[in-house]
């Protein structure tokens, strides 16, 4: 039996591991945190259950890509999701901005046409003569220059929040995100961690192992191959190695000569996607009516391509909020999670501090930001103030320390149409038995990272091997 060692037990590592386990590989996953999942992790605080980084996603419609992957893995019936409409609101007034995506419109037709050019998104085998789609057209250009209803154009531009879009972001990336949402948005019924556990179960049932609290501390190479992976307590060897850690972290842990200086320099200077502050709000029982609708709210007149661009005093510019239902009091909300784009620059002055040991000044700043974010959340949920029982928050430093992502980036490396090669990564590396997976490669999020995992697994098992099974 061929063996695979996966560094990082986030969605990318677990999904790649599950796909490989299905192909007969024995997989070992090494995860630094005490619990698996990375962005799939859920946590309990103040008696409430919150998800950390997987609130809504696409691909779970009747024939959606993610549903077909789950079917292939034999877990379709056990993944409990529910549809979730995303409403667009004015964050200053709480007013709903009406637009429609259920008709043919020039912009939606163009976005669909662009998304269809990406074989992995369409779950199509990649032809031998495949030429990657052009990514020099930016999303902003596409939206600005397409003649369509202004409300629809504004709504489509606001989806930039779901991938940290900037004015140089490729139209292709925007098209993939938009189409996934237009085709139906979903949320996990009971916490995203359950999905991570299902994937880990597939790995374990096939004879593999998932180790938590096992941070990779160094990666040894011999010639052009990885020879071993070390943690503080053990040495792991395998036929193949897959990296799901942020790529910048992989480079820190490998010997200087393992990668070309030009590659190190390119990734070392690549820009990252935006960061955020997340509010985790626990509610008093039966105090706020539950709605399965999530809200995307932008302040009047803000530039959707620079949602995090404002002074600390005026922050936040935008917010994404979603409620969970109280299982004991159906019809009422139990929690609200609100994600507000935030510049890493705000917290850079404390970047040498560690979780639980940050200076008082940081906590005072954090409290001020929490109050500002709460004020915007109250515009969306007018009865919120009286309903709050508990509030906690994560800042860009929390994301940085928890995921290990440079600059607390929500979605890993930033993709640019102006310099597309700078953050372009292949699933294969210069080291013959080392492969890359996770959100730094290609796409992010539940759907995107899962699609990339297919490409990573196929780099090991053979081109289109898994894709051909998915289309059967
Ligand atoms: C606040 C927030 C909200 C988000 N909301 C959504 C959403 O609603 N929908 C959506 O689709 N996406 C969302 N995302 C993005 C989504 O969470 C990510 O795209 C996805 O989790 C990426 O998976 P990954 O495996 O690439 O990375 P991760 O989940 O970060 O996994 C990487 C893993 O590597 C581990 N690791 C790092 N260093 C080491 C080491 N030295 N040794 C061992 N392990 C290590 C980390 O602990 C982590 O578990 C959100 C992200 C954030 C931050």
pLDDT above 80 (res 405): yes
Stretch 236-250: mean pLDDT = 97
Kindly state the DSSP code that residue 134 receives in the 8-state scheme.
P
Q: Tell me which H or E stretch contains 82.
A: strand 81-83
Token pair belonging to 181: 């949402």
**Residue 98: its pLDDT value, please?**
76
- Cα three-residue angle 121-123-129, rounded to 5 degrees: 90
Q: Tell me which H or E stretch contains 211.
A: strand 209-211
Whole-model pTM: value is 0.96
Query: 169 φ, ψ to 5°?
Result: -75, 140
**pLDDT tens digits, 45-85:** 999 999 999 999 999 999 999 999 999 999 999 999 999 99
Banded model confidence at residue 421, pLDDT cuts 50, 70, 90: confident
403 lines ligand 1 (CB under 6 A): yes
Q: Which residue, 434, 56, 9, is CA-closest to 203?
A: 9
Smallest CA separation from ligand 1 atom 46, residue? 403
**Residue 181: its pLDDT value, please?**
87
**Residue 104: its pLDDT value, please?**
78
pLDDT above 90 (res 231): yes
Separation in Å, CA 166 to CA 15, 103, 127, 277, 443? 28, 27, 31, 18, 15
For the CA of 444, the closest atom of ligand 1 is: 19
CB 112 within 8 A of CB 453: no
pLDDT above 90 (res 423): no
The alpha carbon of 321 and the centre of ligand 1 are apart by a number of angstroms equal to 19
The alpha carbon of 11 and the centre of ligand 1 are apart by a number of angstroms equal to 7
Which domains occur in the chain, in start order? 1-40+192-271+420-472 (3.50.50.60), 275-408 (no CATH)
For the CA of 439, the closest atom of ligand 1 is: 26
The alpha carbon of 107 and the centre of ligand 1 are apart by a number of angstroms equal to 31
Pairing relationship of beta strands 216-222 and 434-436 according to DSSP bridges: unpaired
Q: Which residue, 422, 457, 420, is CA-closest to 437?
A: 457
**Residue 102: its pLDDT value, please?**
64
**pLDDT tens digits, 329-373:** 999 999 999 999 999 999 999 999 998 899 999 999 999 999 999
**pLDDT tens digits, 305-339:** 999 999 999 999 999 999 999 999 999 999 999 99
For the CA of 275, the closest atom of ligand 1 is: 53
Q: What is the mean pLDDT of the chain?
A: 95
164 lines ligand 1 (CB under 6 A): no
Token pair belonging to 379: 């515009």
Smallest CA separation from ligand 1 atom 37, residue? 245
The alpha carbon of 217 and the centre of ligand 1 are apart by a number of angstroms equal to 19
For the CA of 437, the closest atom of ligand 1 is: 26
The alpha carbon of 394 and the centre of ligand 1 are apart by a number of angstroms equal to 14
**pLDDT tens digits, 272-307:** 999 999 999 999 999 999 999 999 999 999 999 999
**pLDDT tens digits, 87-140:** 999 999 999 887 666 667 999 999 999 999 999 998 999 888 888 888 889 999
**Residue 101: its pLDDT value, please?**
65
**Residue 130: its pLDDT value, please?**
84
CB 255 within 8 A of CB 21: no
Kindly state the DSSP code that residue 272 receives in the 8-state scheme.
B
How far is Cα of residue 226 from the mean position of the Cα atoms in its chain? Answer: 28
| Adjacent-strand bridge partners of 282 | 335, 390
The alpha carbon of 458 and the centre of ligand 1 are apart by a number of angstroms equal to 22
Least confident of 168-172, 376-380, 418-422: 418-422
Smallest CA separation from ligand 1 atom 27, residue? 10
Task: Give dist(CA 362, CA 418) in Å, integer.
Answer: 36
Task: Give dist(CA 107, CA 92) in Å, integer.
Answer: 27
């Amino acid at each position: 039996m061929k063996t695979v060692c996966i560094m990082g037990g986030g969605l990318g590592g677990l999904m790649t591991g599950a796909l490989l386990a299905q192909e007969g590989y024995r997989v070992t996953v090494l995860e630094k945190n005490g619990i698996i999942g990375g962005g799939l992790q859920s946590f309990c605080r103040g008696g409430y259950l919150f998800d950390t980084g997987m609130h809504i996603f696409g691909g779970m419609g009747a024939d959606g890509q993610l549903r077909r992957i789950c079917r292939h893995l034999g877990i379709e019936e056990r993944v409990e999701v529910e549809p979730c409409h995303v409403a667009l609101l004015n964050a200053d007034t709480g007013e709903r901005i009406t637009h429609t995506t259920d008709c043919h419109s020039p912009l939606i037709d163009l976005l669909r046409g662009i998304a269809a050019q990406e074989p992995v998104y369409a779950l199509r085998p990649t032809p031998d003569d495949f030429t990657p789609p052009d990514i020099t057209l930016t999303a902003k250009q596409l939206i600005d220059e397409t003649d369509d209803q202004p409300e629809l154009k504004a709504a489509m531009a606001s989806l930039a929040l779901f991938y940290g879009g900037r004015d140089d972001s490729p139209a292709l990336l925007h098209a993939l995100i938009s189409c996934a949402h237009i085709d139906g948005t979903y949320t996990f019924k009971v916490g995203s961690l359950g999905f991570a556990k299902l994937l880990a179960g597939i790995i374990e049932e096939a004879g593999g192992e998932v180790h938590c609290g096992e941070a990779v501390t160094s990666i040894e190479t011999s010639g052009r191959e990885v020879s071993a992976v070390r943690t503080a307590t053990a040495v792991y060897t395998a036929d193949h190695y897959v990296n799901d850690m942020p790529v910048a972290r992989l480079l820190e842990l490998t010997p200087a000569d393992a990668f070309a200086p030009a590659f190190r320099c390119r990734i070392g200077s690549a820009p990252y996607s935006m960061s955020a502050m997340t509010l985790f709000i626990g509610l008093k029982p039966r105090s706020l009516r539950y709605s399965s609708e999530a809200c995307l709210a932008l302040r009047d007149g803000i530039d959707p391509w620079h949602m995090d661009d404002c002074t600390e005093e005026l922050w936040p510019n935008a917010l994404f909020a979603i409620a969970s239902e109280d299982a004991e009091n159906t019809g009422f909300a139990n929690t609200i999670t609100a994600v507000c784009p935030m510049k890493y620059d705000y917290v850079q002055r404390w970047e040498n501090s560690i979780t639980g040991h940050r200076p008082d000044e940081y906590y005072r700043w954090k409290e001020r930001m929490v109050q500002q974010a709460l004020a915007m959340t109250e515009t969306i949920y007018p009865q919120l103030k009286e309903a709050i029982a508990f509030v906690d928050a994560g800042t860009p430093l929390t994301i940085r320390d928890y995921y290990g992502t440079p600059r607390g980036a929500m979605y890993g490396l930033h993709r640019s149409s102006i310099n597309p090669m700078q953050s372009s990564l292949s699933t294969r590396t210069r080291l013959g038995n080392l492969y890359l997976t996770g959100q730094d490669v290609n796409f992010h999020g539940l759907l995107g990272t899962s699609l990339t995992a297919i490409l990573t697994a196929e780099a090991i098992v053979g081109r289109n091997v898994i894709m051909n099974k998915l289309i059967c």
